[in-house]
A and B are shown apart, each in its own frame.
Chain A
Amino acid sequence: MQRELSMKVIAPVLERNREAAARVTGFQAWSVAQQPGLLAMREQLDQNSSRAVWDLESGRIGVTVTEHASTAAALNALADDLEANQLAELPRGPEGLGEISFVHPPPAPPAVFFARANLTVAVYSFGREPVDVIGFAQRVDAEISAQTQGGGGSRS
């Protein structure tokens, strides 16, 4: 998704959060309290980015969490992530998920991408078998919100 397209949607949220000081530190992909299944893999992708994969009863779910300097930086990084997505357009995700969120439209394998505080989060159906990702993404978002310090973030 071209950056110009995603930024049309992200820019107003970015404007509202330009001075936001909301911050979460050390939140790893696997540090979710309510695990969705059996933790199958955890990876430190780089100093600020981690990925976890869980085996569900059927299918797998994967989460990538990346820490940025600020909410504004996270929103910009979300646009970068969407730019590295092949789909021409990604629709908005559920209201209230992250500062803003985007999802894969059917028939693409389910995935949701959002920014909350200074984090970008992606939750994927991580195998051939499609798995719903929204419910788990909302739980991750709630945990991040609970750990957020400094305030200033906006619920859209």
Chain B
Amino acid sequence: MQVEEVRFNHDTSAATNDALTIASDGSSGAIAAPEWQRFPTRRLPCAYALGAISGAVTIKVRFSGGPPNATRRIRAVDANPVPPQQPGCLGSIIHAFQQWLHALFGTVGEVLERNVSFDAAGNSALETFTLNASYLGANGVVTKRNTVWKWQLKSGKTWVDFDNTDHTMYITADLPTAPWVQSGTPSQLPWATALERACMWAIGSKTKDEVAAAITREVNRVANVSYTPATMFGFNNYQLTSYLTHLTGGAFVMNCTDAADAVTTLSNLLGCNLAEGRFFNMQTRQFLTLSGDPNVAADWVSWNWGYHEICWQNDFSSNTVWDGCLQLDMSNTPGVHVAQLPVKMLFSVPAPNDYKTRLIATGTGNLEGFVRHRAVV
């Protein structure tokens, strides 16, 4: 007996009991189930949104090579469970580490047993199985999981292995928000290439605030990036494909619009509700430049900017901002710098430690009339 196909996104109209609708990238179109297929070989990723799931998560599976005109009880268990703890202190430490790895990257859960009927040729219909997956519930975190299932059928009182399947699963905090969609323009469906980056940057996050903070921090600390005032990844659209490519290449440059796009787009891919918004006309105080080292004097800079662009919770009315392009100087002592990444900061109270006060030395800092969610290309 063998597994012929596994479907995760079997209901494209919802993500409450199954996987999201995603695309491989901006030009692939939606990944259609089955995401796993024996022949022709098909191994495509799926994604689940923790905040959207309500009730049991199900998958659909089809088998072949079964007993003609008979029924078998079938289930799947974790093929790579945490090994039993070895005795001693070292054994305890290793076991804790293995549990931690499994909680972050391991198989999402088990496939609960059920009866499957086979026709005269030994083929099953597409059968619905329920997952017992705590990592899609209370124990869920943002991550990329490698789920490997060992499929078993019941023979007498024992379970007998008959096949293995492996699946790449991206786990997001909630349903992706703008510019991402779940239906409509195919190029704006969540890209697996972007999920790959965003899930690893925000790995372990449970809440949207944790996601946005992690993405902001990672955008700010990309090792091969430095600041230029020119927008490098598009102003009308966001050239996300290009940004993802440069992250894995040599040195590159970007500005605040690019940073705001990266933070907003990758955070919203994981379920946050950020938007890019600009404000104008400022001579800044000294701040720590993009990817700067707080101990290097030359990395503390100030600029005469016509505009600066950052991320806002929903829109300007929230007065709450994230900025992956710089770190503010929170020190009140001349010659001493204290770097702080702007993460869920109040923009303007006004108060000594709000974002606007810490960034702008002189100038209006007046807001643009609207916020943006740039489409991804």
Contacts and interface: CB of A to CB of B under 8 A. Distances in A.
Interface of A: 1-2, 40-41, 43, 45-46, 51, 53, 55, 59-60, 62, 80-81, 83-89, 104, 107-109, 111, 113, 122, 124-129
B12 interface: no
6 contacts: A86-B308, A87-B304, A87-B306, A126-B252, A127-B253, A128-B226
Contacts of B249: 40-41, 53
Contacts of A126: 251-253
Contact of A122 (B226, B230, B303, B307): B230
Contact of A124 (B228, B239, B242, B256): B228
Interface string B243-259: 00110011111011100
Interface string B300-333: 0101111110000000000000000000000000
Interface of B: 226-232, 234-235, 237, 239, 242, 245-246, 249-253, 255-257, 281, 301, 303-308, 377
Nearest to A90: B229
B226 A86 contact: no
B251 A41 contact: no
B303 A87 contact: yes
B220 to A, nearest CB: 15
Given A41-B245, A43-B242, A80-B235, A88 B250 contact: no
Contacts of A40: 249-250
Nearest to A82: B230
Contacts of B304: 87-89
A127 B306 contact: no
Contacts of A89: 304, 306
Contact of A109 (B227, B242, B306, B307): B227
A109 B281 contact: no
B270 to A, nearest CB: 26
B306 A88 contact: yes
Contact of A86 (B239, B251, B253, B307): B307
A86 B305 contact: yes
Contacts of A86: 229-230, 255-257, 303, 305-308
A43 B231 CA distance: 16
A81 B236 CA distance: 10
Given A84-B257, A87-B303, A108 B229 contact: yes
Contact of B242 (A51, A104, A108, A122): A51
B251 A128 contact: yes
A84 B231 contact: yes
A88 B281 contact: yes
Contact of A87 (B229, B235, B257): B229
A129 B242 CA distance: 21
B240 to A, nearest CB: 11
A109 B250 contact: no
B250 A55 contact: yes
A104 B252 contact: no
B253 A104 contact: no
Contacts of A53: 249-250, 252
A45 B306 contact: no
